[in-house]
Amino acid sequence: MKAELTLLLPALRRFAYSLTGSMADADDLVQNTVLRLLNAPAPEGIVLAQWTFKICRNVWIDEYRAQKVRQNAVHNPDLQAENSSDGEQDLINDLHLKEVDRAMNTLPDDQREVLSLVAVQGMSYAEAAEVLAVPTGTIMSRLARARSAMVAAFKPLTGSPA
């Protein structure tokens, strides 16, 4: 299980970041998720990846309810580490990433979770439905609403067609 879990860490970290919006909080969430997984291993016959994402989401919900203070760190740029060079492309990439992050943070939690699982993590609708414990149709509906909201968030940036 530890070898399988090691292979899942990059995807788990991306998912945690999509939930928290902060790399520091995402790293804490991944650590707490892994600790929980190691202390209470997955039941027999379950897909470890799906179980891991489900545990991560549940840990995040627990932490979010217990510590709403984390949201302050997301909106305070002085608390976020900058690791990029002074290149023009790095600046452009950083601006695009911040725009996407802002747009994703405007989505309701249920839509952001689905968008992250399907579009970022590459899960199928069925896998995402199992992780979130909702019907596949709900996944499809939430994903459609999330994609529409993301398109609408970026439409003013691209301008309207003539």
* 33, 61, 81 - which closes a domain: 81
**Averaging pLDDT over each range in 14-28, 36-50, 66-80, 147-161, which range is the top one?**
14-28
Based on the fold, state whether residues 99 and 75 are members of the same structural domain: no
Based on the fold, state whether residues 75 and 1 are members of the same structural domain: yes
Residue 123, domain CATH: 1.10.10.10
* 33, 54, 81 - which closes a domain: 81
Based on the fold, state whether residues 155 and 131 are members of the same structural domain: yes
Based on the fold, state whether residues 55 and 94 are members of the same structural domain: no
Residue 37, domain CATH: 1.10.1740
**What mean pLDDT, rounded, does the chain reach?**
80
Based on the fold, state whether residues 74 and 114 are members of the same structural domain: no
For residues 118 and 96, give the distance between their C-alpha atoms in angstroms, rounded to a whole number.
21
Which CA distances in Å does 29 have to 66, 124, 145?
Answer: 13, 23, 27
pTM above 0.75, yes or no: no
Say if residue 60 is exposed, middle or buried (CB neighbours under 10 Å; 0-12, 13-18, 19+): buried
Q: Is the pLDDT of residue 70 over 60?
A: no
Average pLDDT over residues 3-28: 90
Q: Determine contact, residues 120/18, Cβ cutoff 8 Å.
A: yes
Based on the fold, state whether residues 92 and 72 are members of the same structural domain: no
Q: Give the tens place of pLDDT for each residue, 86-122.
A: 566 766 777 777 787 788 888 898 988 898 888 888 8
Based on the fold, state whether residues 18 and 68 are members of the same structural domain: yes
Query: For residues 7 and 156, which has the higher predicted lDDT (pLDDT)?
Result: 7
* 81, 98, 125 - which closes a domain: 81
Based on the fold, state whether residues 2 and 75 are members of the same structural domain: yes
The pLDDT, as a whole number, for residue 84 is 42
Based on the fold, state whether residues 33 and 66 are members of the same structural domain: yes
Give me the domain span that covers residue 157.
86-162
CB neighbours of residue 1 within 10 Å = 10
Total domains, the chain: 2
- Split at pLDDT 50, 70, 90, the class of 76 is low
Average pLDDT over residues 19-36: 90
